Amino acid sequence: QEKKKISYENKLEKVEHPMAKRLLEIAIEKNSNLIASADILSTRELLDFADMVGPHIVALKTHIDILTDFDADSTILPLKDLAQKHNFLIMEDRKFADIGNTQELQFSYGMYKISNWADLVTAQVIGGSASLDGFHNVGVVAILGMSSKGTLTDAHYREEAMKIIENQSNVMACVAQNEIPDDLILMTPGVNLSDAGDSKGQQYNTPEKVINNYHTDFIIVGRGIYKAENPEQEAVKYKMAGWEAYKKAL
């Protein structure tokens, strides 16, 4: 008999990180396992997008450093308001990949001051365990495996990475393209209902496939939603596809 996916309710009992608990509670409340990736270049469009898709998502994933007009007051304050209004978390996809000291500076200083506003941040584990110690008051989402063609995150890398992740109490989730232990949250990008990939190495699977095959907890969808003619309608479509696949995998 095939192994069944663990429910969000059961996972809630296994996880310890407060951000992991919040994320699972939001999923249960909204019947959604959708994280929208807002790879958007202007504050106005980012805020409009967040307001549109906000009711349907558990988290909004940002690449804050691609905004051409970032400003703490006009970008972050309204974004935080929208996160509260629609009950979603803000996940900054910074993919830290340096020594601990540099990462701490990048996390709290410079113009973005990520530590002031992000609920979750992504980090590579390439710098080793101690490099992750400085992320406080935030949920760390560790990159275990990447979706792109030719990635170096092969089975050996992932095995070593998983040892770091399992011993790091500030890590609350993994990004990967494979199944992971039940006491961690799995997020999977490279999800699209129609596209086969792009010309820059991205590889796509459907929500159904990643939830069935990897038992992923959260699908991360970028261009599939923000490039659509009607992003809100598309977000609903992905939310329903993700939730149906989740219920079927239980």
Q: Any idea which residues carry the catalytic annotation?
A: 93, 95, 98
Stretch of 6-14, 71-79, 160-168, 216-224 lying at the interface with ligand S5P (CB under 6 A): 216-224
Determine the Cα–Cα distance for residues 73 and 84; give it in Å rounded to an integer: 16
**220 binds ligand S5P, rule: CB under 6 A:** yes
Pair 183, 153: CB distance under 8 Å? no
Based on CB atoms, which residue is closest to ligand S5P, 29 or 156? 156
Among 146, 165, 173, 186, binds ligand S5P (CB under 6 A): 146
Determine the Cα–Cα distance for residues 39 and 42; give it in Å rounded to an integer: 10
Question: Is 147 annotated as ligand-binding?
Answer: yes
Question: Is 22 annotated as ligand-binding?
Answer: no
Based on CB atoms, which residue is closest to ligand S5P, 209 or 223? 223
Q: Give the list of residues 6+ apart from residue 143 with CB closer than 8 angstroms, or none.
A: 95, 122, 123, 124, 125, 153, 174, 175, 176
From the list 25, 63, 24, 28, the residue with the least C-alpha distance to 226 is 63
Pair 20, 139: CB distance under 8 Å? yes
Stretch of 98-106, 123-131, 154-162, 217-225 lying at the interface with ligand S5P (CB under 6 A): 217-225
From the list 80, 75, 137, the residue with the least C-alpha distance to 104 is 137
Q: What angle do CA 98, 216, 118 make, to 5 degrees?
A: 45
Stretch of 113-121, 207-215, 221-229, 240-248 lying at the interface with ligand S5P (CB under 6 A): 221-229
Q: Give the list of residues 6+ apart from residue 218 with CB closer than 8 angstroms, or none.
A: 23, 27, 33, 34, 35, 58, 59, 173, 185, 186, 187, 188
Question: Is 222 annotated as ligand-binding?
Answer: yes
Q: How far is the CB of 250 from ligand S5P (least distance, A)?
A: 25
Determine the Cα–Cα distance for residues 118 and 168; give it in Å rounded to an integer: 19
Stretch of 25-33, 105-113, 164-172, 184-192 lying at the interface with ligand S5P (CB under 6 A): 184-192
Among 54, 207, 224, 242, binds ligand S5P (CB under 6 A): 224
Q: At what angle do helices 231-249 and 43-53 cross, to 10 degrees?
A: 50
Greatest CA separation for the chain:
54
**39 binds ligand S5P, rule: CB under 6 A:** yes
Residues 16-35, one symbol each (x = binds ligand S5P by CB under 6 A, - = not), give --------------------
Based on CB atoms, which residue is closest to ligand S5P, 189 or 207? 189
Question: Is 124 annotated as ligand-binding?
Answer: no
Residues 51-90, one symbol each (x = binds ligand S5P by CB under 6 A, - = not), give ------------x---------------------------
Instruction: List the binding residues for substrate.
Output: 39, 61, 147, 202, 222-223
